[in-house]
């Protein structure tokens, strides 16, 4: 064996998963196709749940530092720091569970440092995957690699997903977008919705969205100029385009996230429109959910069937994001009927209760896992970063007690338990938290059942 788990893909999801596996006592090996980290600005933010997941591992200071510039960039590029649903920038962020504005390359640098000590091999493209009863063999480059388990974190065009035979059903793209930092020469048509698409520009950023024609648009100055003319009817001169990206809104999800000893996480498991900035949030929570569970099985604390809870919990979370991003694509499509719908939807977002609903929807905090034992809310939900007052009166935050990667029991009076960390509190609880921050017990029903289920 070359390790306990081979992680294919060294992006944010793969790096965080590898760090979680290491924390859980497993030995990960990361195989990455690229020779150097990508500097593409694919994503620019983390939702509340992913932010809290990284806080729990001691990365709060790094995120807060990056958020300063990230928030300035967001205001510059979008003219607002409010959240949005289908580019209707009216959603008021929940300040009690803040998100982080951070460009993906900067996040990768933070996570690479966090995963220090993990073996990461670059320039290794996976070309074959073979599973048997004892492990998985991966062919990459001129040699084979072997481990007990394999996790594909290798993006929307995942080789692992294809080679391991996962189904990937879904819907084709309705819209295509080209965007980047652009320098125009001469006049530029105004931003807004046009009969055949949308053209937006502000600061140095510009982007155009139009109905998909089958082939993805090129990312060149001429291609962008042609797309702008199709949408606005105006001829423009694009002198330069930098940080260019193109994307569609196809929505697909793996039929299962586990096939025997092979797992999928992040974009390898689900692809969707970037509307609402939910992709990184979703993928990092996949990693948070899977890492400690694989660690528990590898240590021998839990049987292998325990790993089925990964698909059972994370597949519905992916379905929910595909649902709301498809709805956003419908609101972004051109046409007078959609324009009318957007006007009414904007009025709906002015209602405080509706605004909070959509803020919670995009952040994922409405997510709740179904457990194999009866338990009322908040069991199954991701716990916020609570303030904790200890028995000695000392104040702290929840994330200060979660860096071990073990379960955590917050209680006023309960004996120590070797399976979890126990913290005496006087202002909250009792609560039992899993290593991924999910509430496993909240004072109702037998604690022993929850402890035995997860630890």
Confidence at residue 77, expressed as pLDDT on a 0 to 100 scale:
80
User: pLDDT averaged over the chain?
Assistant: 94
Cβ 178 vs Cβ 246: under 8 Å: yes
Confidence at residue 141, expressed as pLDDT on a 0 to 100 scale:
83
Confidence at residue 380, expressed as pLDDT on a 0 to 100 scale:
97
Does position 320 have pLDDT exceeding 80, yes or no? yes
Question: Is-same-fold flag (3-169+252-363; 387-454)?
Answer: no
Mean pLDDT (whole number) for 218-244: 91
Does position 215 have pLDDT exceeding 80, yes or no? no
Quick one: DSSP state of residue 128? E
Q: What is the percent of the chain with per-residue pLDDT over 90, rounded to a whole number?
A: 85
Mean pLDDT (whole number) for 423-436: 93
Cβ 53 vs Cβ 306: under 8 Å: no
Mean pLDDT (whole number) for 331-342: 96
Quick one: DSSP state of residue 53? H
Confidence at residue 361, expressed as pLDDT on a 0 to 100 scale:
94
Vertex 87, ends 81 and 93: CA angle to 5°? 35
SS3 content of the chain, % helix, strand, coil (to 5): 35, 25, 40
- Taking the CA atoms of residue 103, residue 258, residue 368 and residue 432 in that order, the dihedral angle to the nearest 10 degrees is -100
SS3 101: strand
Tens of pLDDT, residue by residue over 257-279, are: 999 999 999 999 999 999 888 99
Quick one: DSSP state of residue 95? T
Confidence at residue 384, expressed as pLDDT on a 0 to 100 scale:
96
Tens of pLDDT, residue by residue over 356-411, are: 999 999 999 989 999 999 899 999 999 999 999 998 899 999 999 999 999 999 99
User: Looking up tokens 């998963």, which residue turns up?
Assistant: 17
Q: What pLDDT band is residue 249 in, cutting at 50, 70 and 90?
A: very high
Contacts of 251 (CB under 8 A, 6+ apart): 170, 171, 271, 272, 273, 322, 325, 326, 329
Confidence at residue 15, expressed as pLDDT on a 0 to 100 scale:
98
CA distance 155 to 7: 12
Number of helical (H) and strand (E) elements in the chain, helices listed first: 11, 26
pTM for the complete prediction? 0.95
Tens of pLDDT, residue by residue over 341-355, are: 999 999 999 999 999
Q: How far is CA 387 from CA 140, 193, 291, 409, in A?
A: 47, 45, 26, 15
Among the ranges given (69-78, 307-316, 332-341), the one the predictor scored with the smallest mean pLDDT: 69-78
Tens of pLDDT, residue by residue over 126-141, are: 999 999 999 999 999 8
- In 18-163, DSSP assigns E strands to 28-32, 45-46, 83-85, 88-91, 100-101, 119-122, 126-131, 136-140, 143-152
Confidence at residue 244, expressed as pLDDT on a 0 to 100 scale:
86
Residue 303's Cβ-side half-sphere holds a number of Cα atoms within 13 Å equal to 3
User: Looking up tokens 């951070």, which residue turns up?
Assistant: 102
CATH topology of domain 387-454: Glutaredoxin (3.40.30)
Q: How far is CA 42 from CA 45, 201, 210, 402, in A?
A: 10, 18, 19, 30
Does position 414 have pLDDT exceeding 80, yes or no? no
- In 115-248, DSSP assigns E strands to 119-122, 126-131, 136-140, 143-152, 170-171, 175-185, 192-194, 197-202, 205-211, 237-248
Tens of pLDDT, residue by residue over 191-211, are: 999 999 999 998 778 999 999
CA distance 202 to 179: 12
Cβ 279 vs Cβ 322: under 8 Å: no
Confidence at residue 331, expressed as pLDDT on a 0 to 100 scale:
96
Vertex 429, ends 428 and 430: CA angle to 5°? 155
Q: What pLDDT band is residue 62 in, cutting at 50, 70 and 90?
A: very high
Quick one: DSSP state of residue 204? T
Q: What pLDDT band is residue 81 in, cutting at 50, 70 and 90?
A: confident
Mean pLDDT (whole number) for 162-171: 98
- Give domain limits for the chain: 3-169+252-363, 175-248, 387-454
Tens of pLDDT, residue by residue over 277-316, are: 899 999 999 999 999 999 999 999 999 999 999 999 999 9
SS3 214: coil
Q: What pLDDT band is residue 219 in, cutting at 50, 70 and 90?
A: confident
Confidence at residue 113, expressed as pLDDT on a 0 to 100 scale:
97
Q: What pLDDT band is residue 41 in, cutting at 50, 70 and 90?
A: confident
Confidence at residue 338, expressed as pLDDT on a 0 to 100 scale:
97
Cβ 433 vs Cβ 443: under 8 Å: no
SS3 170: strand
CA distance 50 to 55: 9
User: Domain 3-169+252-363 is of which CATH architecture?
Assistant: 3-Layer(bba) Sandwich (3.50)
Does position 80 have pLDDT exceeding 90, yes or no? no
Cβ 237 vs Cβ 131: under 8 Å: no
CATH topology of domain 175-248: Alpha-Beta Plaits (3.30.70)
């Amino acid at each position: 064996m070359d390790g306990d788990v081979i992680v294919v893909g060294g992006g944010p999801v793969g790096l965080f998963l590898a760090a979680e596996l290491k924390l859980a006592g497993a030995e990960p090996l990361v195989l990455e196709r690229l020779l150097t980290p990508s500097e593409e600005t694919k994503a620019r933010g983390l939702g509340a749940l992913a932010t809290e997941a990284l806080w729990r591992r001691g990365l709060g200071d790094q995120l807060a530092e990056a958020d300063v510039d990230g928030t300035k960039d967001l205001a510059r590029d979008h003219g607002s720091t409010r959240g949005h649903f289908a580019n209707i920038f009216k959603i008021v962020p929940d300040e009690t569970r803040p998100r982080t504005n951070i460009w993906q390359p900067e996040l990768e640098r933070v996570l690479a440092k966090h995963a220090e000590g993990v073996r990461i091999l670059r320039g290794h493209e996976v070309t074959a995957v073979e599973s048997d009863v004892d492990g998985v063999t991966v062919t990459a480059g001129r040699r084979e690699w072997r481990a007990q388990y394999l996790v594909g974190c290798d993006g929307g065009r995942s080789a692992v997903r294809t080679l391991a035979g996962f189904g990937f059903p879904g819907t084709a793209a309705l819209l295509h977008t080209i965007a980047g930092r652009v320098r125009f020469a001469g006049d530029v048509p105004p931003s807004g919705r046009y009969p055949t698409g949308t053209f937006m520009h502000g600061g140095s950023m510009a982007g155009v969205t139009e109905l998909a024609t089958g082939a993805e648009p090129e990312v060149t100055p001429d291609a962008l100029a042609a797309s702008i003319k199709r949408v606005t009817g105006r001829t423009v001169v694009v002198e330069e385009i930098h940080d260019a990206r193109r994307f569609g809104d196809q929505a697909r999800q793996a039929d299962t996230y586990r096939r025997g000893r092979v797992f999928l996480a992040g974009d390898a498991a689900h692809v969707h429109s970037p509307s609402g900035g939910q992709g990184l949030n979703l993928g990092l929570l996949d990693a948070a959910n899977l890492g400690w569970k694989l660690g528990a099985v590898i240590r021998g604390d839990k049987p292998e069937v325990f790993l089925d809870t990964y698909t059972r919990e994370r597949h519905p979370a992916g379905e929910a994001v595909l649902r709301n991003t498809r709805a956003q694509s419908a609101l972004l499509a051109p046409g007078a009927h959609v324009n009318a719908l957007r006007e009414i939807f904007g009025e709906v977002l002015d209602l405080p209760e509706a605004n909070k609903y959509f803020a919670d929807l995009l952040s994922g905090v409405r997510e709740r896992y179904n457990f194999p034992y009866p338990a009322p809310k908040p069991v199954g939900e991701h716990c916020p970063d609570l303030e904790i007052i200890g028995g000695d009166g000392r104040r702290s935050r929840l994330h200060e007690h979660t860096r071990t990667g073990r379960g955590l029991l917050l209680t006023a009076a309960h004996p120590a338990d070797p399976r979890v960390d126990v913290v005496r509190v006087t202002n909250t609880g009792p609560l039992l938290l899993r290593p991924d921050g999910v509430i496993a017990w909240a004072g109702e029903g037998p604690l022993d059942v929850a402890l035995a289920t997860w630890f």
